[in-house]
Structure 1
Amino acid sequence: MPPLETAGWSLFFAVLIVGLYANIYGLPGTVLIFIDVLVYASVTGFCTIGKALLVSLLAIALLAEGLELILYAAGASRFSVSKKGIAVSVLGSVAGALLLTRYLYGLGTLAGIFLGGFLGILLMELMHQMQLRPSMRRTKGSILGRSAGTLTKGGLALSMMVLALMSIYS
């Protein structure tokens, strides 16, 4: 494999993982995944990724971002971001990937990155909430709504990645 092709594949997978991880913080990771797959498809001349798959990925990305917008409007809080929270989230991602890769191989790596990072940031948020006065804490429903939204959006992002990679490797 030529070095330029290796660099392209590495960049493609790095952007996919960043897109998956961005969903933990409420960033538009599904849109990033869609754009990454669109760029890959256009560079390869739509050989392995067809227009039907791109339309499906766009629909999933819009669904995920729309769901997050609805939950945010309904009162779901955002997780607070700190340096310590990011560090715990990254460590959780590494631990999750190491634990799940053994059982689910590639899918376990991707799911472990997301689930471990999510659990890390959720634990940091819960610890942060416990340090606040009761009147300043977020409601349990608000945190639960954000957790449900993040897990749903992450599941949709993971399904987008699986669809794209299955199309490339089949």
Structure 2
Amino acid sequence: MTKRGAAAARALVVLGVAVVLAVSGCALGNRGSLRASREVGRAFETLHVYPGYRYWYYYQENNPYAVIGLKPPWRVEDIHWTEVDPQSKTFEKVVGLVERFPAPGGFPFGAYILDLQGETIGVWYSSLSAGIRADPERRVVFIQTAMPWLDEDPWAGSGIGIGIGSGGAGVGVRIGY
């Protein structure tokens, strides 16, 4: 390769990295987080509900992977999340299933859902971890987590991973099986 070709290739790589960093930076604008809490875990295990919170479960009633509660006016707008009355038998059922049947390689834990400023906007109970994005203008919480029901070999995805990204795009490295 000529000096000119090598310089052009380096420039393209630098440009590509800059674009990835810029896109990931934009996506991190309203990034929230989970803060693990034994108190929240115990609350779900004992079916204690936080007064005034609205609750949703992730995936199907007979195969849920997570349960969340959000302070009003916060809400979830995603077809994979179904609102559930916390006083219903369905709520008791989905919490019990999340507790007794964790995702492969995981164990259920409780956490506070925090907005960008670190304020508590909800609670989380699942064996999955999640990325949280909270839109303060619309009061909508976006939750990015695994979809174990799509994995043909759920054990194949275990391992340690690092990376940057959100949505369906990003750059990352996974070390595992």
Question: Where on the TM-score scale, by shorter chain, does this alignment land: which range?
Answer: under 0.3
Q: Greater CA radius of gyration, 1 or 2? A: 2
- Structure with greater helix percent: 1
Query: Normalising by structure 1, what TM-score?
Result: 0.25
Q: Compare relative contact order (CA 8 Å, sep 6+) and give the higher one, 1 or 2.
A: 1
Query: Normalising by structure 2, what TM-score?
Result: 0.24
- Structure with greater strand percent: 2
